[in-house]
């Protein structure tokens, strides 16, 4: 009988990103990690941008990563609860993950309780963000009109091509894929958001998006966790008995 007591959090694998040299190896490493935790994980939270691009048409899903999807389905079938938070790269996830894989889908931040501790969970792309251009783009991409246009006016092959080009150009701006740098408490927008949050006490704010590793105490018994990524850090958070630690995957 298995002893599943642990909760896992990870984000930002960007499966299928054009700047990842060996896409198959990248996918298989993530699958190996899921295999390693399947005997002690009770819940897994995927906090967005697991795919570099995802769009579900009515009868079409993006090509590739069948092994990864099959592994998620296997874990769910074996009793592990999996939650998926859409990020800015995979916001266009609709019914497929829920209907075919049995995953619980979230499109907004969520406050939950685990082992008696309160967690605020989000991918983080629009948490406290002050960049109006980025905020405007998010609104455009989330618009029902834009979604309708993608579904009805653009062939899937063309939309995938456009998305990969957009993603590649975006990452080139980030110093040729250098690891993201921590900007400090006064500039990191998710940290600023957490410090100003006063709706309720939160023990752990957990975010993805920034591709940095951060474990920061911001007030008494309240910490901000940024999960890193599965491109350069191969990192995750684990919670057991209410205690959280950040770790990296050692092959």
Neighbours of 21 (CB within 10 A): 7
Q: Give me the pLDDT at residue 132, please.
A: 66
Q: Give me the pLDDT at residue 168, please.
A: 59
Q: Give me the pLDDT at residue 6, please.
A: 97
Does the predicted TM-score (pTM) go above 0.85?
A: yes
Q: What is the pLDDT along the chain (251 residues), one digit of tens a residue?
A: 468 999 999 999 999 888 888 999 999 999 999 999 999 999 999 999 999 888 787 777 888 899 999 999 999 999 999 999 988 888 778 888 999 999 999 999 999 999 999 999 999 888 877 666 766 666 766 677 777 777 777 787 887 777 667 665 555 444 344 568 899 999 999 999 999 999 999 999 999 999 999 999 998 899 999 999 999 999 999 999 999 999 998 75
Residue 53 DSSP one-character state? -
Residue 59 DSSP one-character state? S
Q: Give me the pLDDT at residue 108, please.
A: 92
Q: Give me the pLDDT at residue 35, please.
A: 97
Q: Give me the pLDDT at residue 53, please.
A: 83
Phi, psi angles (nearest 5°) of residue 45: -110, 120
What angle, rounded to 10 degrees, do the helices at 132-142 and 144-153 form? 60
Residue 14 to residues 49, 52, 114, Cα–Cα distance (Å): 6, 4, 27
DSSP secondary structure string, 68-86?
HHHHHHHHHHTT-EEEEE-
> In terms of Cα–Cα distance, which of 112, 147, 113, 108 is closest to 124?
108
CB 169 within 8 A of CB 162: no
């Amino acid at each position: 009988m298995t002893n599943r007591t642990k909760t896992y959090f990870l984000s930002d694998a960007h499966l299928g990103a054009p700047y990842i040299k060996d896409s198959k190896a990248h996918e298989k490493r993530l699958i190996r990690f899921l295999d390693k935790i399947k005997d002690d994980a009770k819940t897994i939270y995927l906090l967005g941008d697991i795919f570099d691009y995802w769009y579900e048409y009515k009868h079409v899903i993006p090509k590739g990563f069948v092994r990864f999807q099959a592994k998620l389905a296997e874990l769910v079938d074996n009793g592990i609860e999996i939650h998926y938070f859409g990020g800015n790269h995979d916001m266009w996830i609709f019914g497929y993950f829920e209907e075919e894989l049995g995953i619980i889908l979230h499109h907004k931040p969520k406050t939950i309780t685990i082992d008696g501790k309160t967690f605020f969970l989000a991918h983080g792309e629009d948490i406290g963000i002050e960049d109006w251009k980025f905020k405007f783009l998010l609104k455009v991409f989330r618009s029902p009109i834009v979604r309708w246009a993608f579904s009805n006016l653009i062939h899937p092959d063309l939309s995938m091509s456009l998305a990969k080009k957009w993603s590649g150009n975006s990452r080139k701006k980030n110093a040729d894929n250098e690891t993201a740098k921590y900007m400090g408490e006064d500039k990191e927008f998710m940290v600023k958001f957490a410090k100003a949050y006063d709706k309720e006490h939160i023990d752990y704010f957990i975010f993805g998006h920034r591709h940095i590793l951060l474990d920061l105490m911001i007030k008494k018994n309240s910490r901000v966790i940024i999960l890193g990524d599965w491109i350069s850090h191969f990192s995750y958070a684990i919670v057991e008995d209410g205690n959280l630690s950040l770790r990296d995957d050692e092959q």
